[in-house]
Structure 1
């Protein structure tokens, strides 16, 4: 797919980090709860869909491309 710009390890890290932040947001009682949840949700979403808009903005790509025949 043309829009995938994250490799497996990058995606796995994002899914773990996003899930951890969302879980942590349920256990704290501060005003930062909504912000931590929102950041965790965005990180989790970019890990699931394998596309990071910041990578696109800077032209980065962590996905290795195989040779086309």
Structure 2
């Protein structure tokens, strides 16, 4: 898996995921557990949907 989530995208995914999971853990709606998805993709740096859409927010690495 080549990294395709970078920079601000990664930070926003982690923050949104943490917020949703915390909300669910503190008695919010069950659907808030979906926050695990953006949290995981932000921490891994890879989103399985991005290759299907031809998207990457990672900066190009120079060799």
Say whether the fold is shared (TM-score over 0.5): yes
TM range (shorter): 0.7 to 0.9
Q: Post-superposition, which runs of at least 4 consecutive aligned residues in structure 1 deviate over 6 A?
A: none
In 2: Cα distance, 1:51 partner to 1:67 partner: 19
1:40 aligned to 16, 35, 41, which one?
A: 35
CA distance in 2, matches of 1:4, 1:41: 18
Number of matched pairs: 63
Match of residue 51, structure 1, among 46, 50, 61: 46
The runs of 5 or more residues in structure 2 that have no matched partner are: none
Superposition CA RMSD, Å: 1.5
The structure with more radius of gyration: 1
Normalised by the size of structure 2, how large is the TM-score?
0.86
- 1:4 is displaced (CA, Å) by 0.2
SS of 1:23 mapped into structure 2: helix
TM-score by length of 1: 0.80
